[in-house]
Amino acid sequence: MSLTVPEPHARHVPVRLDVQRWATHRSRRRLLVVVHTVVTGQRLLDAIRPLEGDTRVQTFFTQAPDVFSNGVGAFLERLGGLVLPWSQAVQTHFDLALAAGHGNLHDVQAPVVVLPHGAGHNKVVPVLPGAHPPARAGAHGFSRQRLMRDGAVVPEAIVLAHEEELARLGRDCPEAVPAAEVVGDPCFDRMAASLPFRALYREALGVKGRRRLVLACSTWGPDSLLGHGWNTLERLVTEVPKDEYRIAALLHPHVWNAHGDWQVRAWLAELVRAGLLLLSPHADWTGAVVAADHIVGDHGSVSLYGAMTGAPVLMAGRSDAALDPSSPMAELMSFAPRWREDRPVSQQLRRSSVLRRAHRYERVAARITSEPGRFGRRMRALLYRKLRLRAPAARCPAVEPASLPVTVRYDDPGAGVSR
């Protein structure tokens, strides 16, 4: 007797050759959403939202190979989308593909639209050893080694947030400029829509009365706030008066995915018992940034988004992180005060408020996007043009404010297991 074990990812109905027999609805266009990491997946959900309600388009998801791919499977499972294994996705024709990362896009059988997965293009990408032809270091998302293969530009369209990025792209990869389109930034738009509801986000985090919320934000890697050790978080939690301040920590999803949810919770369990609010990596983070009175950050995107809220920023992590000197993040780091190990925490927080100059923060915030409030509308126009479909008469969905912040809760604080 022989047993046939079904393939765990069998060919789904909408991509079968005999689709007419099995599919309840046959769409006119097939869109592939290529998810490299949880961060890119979150950004791509903003990009495909303008397609809601259009029955002409069938959307598929796939997990692309990436060093930070841990957590993507769970993200896609929670999403409930139709997921194709990478091996099948690259053998299937699609009318369009969307990505917010660059790895292996040349294998996709579709024109690809690439978006940034953070606030613009700030970090410098090191040159890969043995690159042919020899390439110069460039900003992430702008470098020739990421955008080109075999002498040709891989993406069909490159989404930018600000007009000034066209010049920076032309410096690093002039061949890609014709593919670039200035569309805007969805996180900026969501935060702008959320600012009037700041009190609700503060209430959700238990910040009441005259108490002030300090948000510690860490990107990933050795140059980050956490990469320099736990001392910054420990001092924030233990040194400031608890009746005056509430401390919350927002960690980049790569921190969670590289080390594992359980491990991060276990490492921070003692600080949570001491009063730290640990924000969930699975929930919308933008409301917490809107709620903050102070931001203690690093060279990650959250610090840059924080520049638009009115909260003063204290910079921790590596002061000479690899940044494009012409980027808005480099400008923010040029004037935001540095976190000091030799000064009392409360004094540093008060000093950052005194030194804050609104016009400087406003100038940096204005460099995040040159299309404020228009990402949805412009992304919608780009998608329908690339899909070769007439956009529906219905208006593009309005920008919605952020959902309420969610914190990690511990069933057993000693074990670091969350609900």
* 212 pLDDT higher than 80: yes
Q: Mean pLDDT throughout 207-217?
A: 95
Look at the alpha carbons of 192, 196, 200, 205 in this order and tell me if their dihedral is positive or negative: positive
Query: Which tens digits make up the pLDDT trace of 170-207?
Result: 998 999 999 999 999 999 999 999 999 999 999 999 99
SS3 state of residue 407: strand
How many Cα atoms within 13 Å fall on the side-chain side of residue 230?
10
What are the backbone dihedrals phi and psi of residue 182, each rounded to the nearest 5 degrees, phi first? -85, 115
Which one has a higher pLDDT value, 419 or 306? 306
At 146, is the pLDDT very low, low, confident or very high (cuts 50, 70, 90)? confident
CA gap 402, 292 in Å, rounded: 14
Q: Which residue has the tokens 């009063």?
A: 275
Tell me which of 17-26, 187-196, 239-248, 262-271 is least confident. 17-26
Which residues make beta-bridge pairs with 84?
62
At 12, is the pLDDT very low, low, confident or very high (cuts 50, 70, 90)? low
Non-local CB neighbours of 195 within 8 Å, separated by 6+ positions: 290, 309
Query: Which tens digits make up the pLDDT trace of 338-381?
Result: 999 999 999 999 999 988 899 999 999 999 999 999 999 999 99
- Confidence at residue 182, expressed as pLDDT on a 0 to 100 scale: 97
- Confidence at residue 48, expressed as pLDDT on a 0 to 100 scale: 96
On the question of a cis peptide bond just before residue 126, with omega within 30 degrees of 0, the verdict is: no
CA gap 200, 364 in Å, rounded: 26
- Confidence at residue 141, expressed as pLDDT on a 0 to 100 scale: 75
Q: Mean pLDDT throughout 244-269?
A: 95
- Confidence at residue 109, expressed as pLDDT on a 0 to 100 scale: 95
At 417, is the pLDDT very low, low, confident or very high (cuts 50, 70, 90)? very low
Instruction: Return mean pLDDT, the chain.
Output: 89
* 152 pLDDT higher than 60: yes
* 131 pLDDT higher than 60: no
Which residues make beta-bridge pairs with 167?
none
At 305, is the pLDDT very low, low, confident or very high (cuts 50, 70, 90)? very high
**Are the beta carbons of 368 and 162 closer than 8 angstroms?**
yes
